[in-house]
Chains A and B, each alone.
Chain A
């Protein structure tokens, strides 16, 4: 059974940093792309960043480019999101989402989400 578990969220001041982790299990980690998707309180879904199975291809939304860094450790089955220079508008629940292939943008499994509050 596929399982994705986010951690590392919390309260941070504007301008601060935070690193999110997503521990994965139940599938062959290195053969699937992964993404971070966020949802501000009471708002819709926003794709943030994605990374291919090997880590060789990386993509960002314009709203976070230059401030956030996505990475993965295939030996630890873990996805990361380093968030720097955080702003109030980054406040959201952050979801880790598994792609059904090595980069197709079909998110077939999601974590339960982790709250990041910038205040």
Chain B
């Protein structure tokens, strides 16, 4: 099974900051990575699929990159509504593993 790791596990940032979250797969998965945002008490929301394809309605300050085993999610200018937990997920093969999450909170 493919394992996903994320770093950092948490980070504190201010409104307007640029932040980057890293996700690593235990084997090469081409560009088969999705990113989700989950706010407290809510269901996850798909932000990016296929490593870099922004979902409709997702602000352009979100971007994704990477291929193979290393992937990143970047928020160019953090907004108040962005504070949440972010998960990467591989859809290269089942089981579709999620990373452990990165919690972004207010500094």
Is A44 a contact partner of B44 (Cβ separation < 8 A)? no
Kindly list chain A residues whose C-beta atoms are within 8 Å of the C-beta of B54: none
Residue in A44, A45, A50, A111 whose CB lies within 8 Å of B94:
A50
Assess whether B89 is interfacial by the CB under 8 Å rule.
yes
Assess whether B97 is interfacial by the CB under 8 Å rule.
yes
Binary flags per residue of A29-68, CB closer than 8 Å to B gives 1, else 0: 0000001010000001111001000000001111000000
Q: How many residues of A contact B (CB 8 A)?
A: 22
Output the nearest chain A residue to B98 by Cβ-Cβ distance: A45
Kindly list chain B residues whose C-beta atoms are within 8 Å of the C-beta of A46: 98
Is A61 a contact partner of B95 (Cβ separation < 8 A)? yes
Q: Which residues of A contact B (CB under 8 A)?
A: 35, 37, 44-47, 50, 59-62, 95, 100, 104-108, 110-113
Q: Which residues of B contact A (CB under 8 A)?
A: 1, 32, 34, 36, 38, 43-46, 49-50, 55, 87, 89-91, 94-101
Can you name 13 A-B pairs with beta carbons within 8 Å? A37-B44, A44-B101, A47-B95, A47-B96, A100-B49, A104-B91, A105-B89, A105-B90, A105-B94, A106-B34, A107-B44, A110-B43, A112-B43
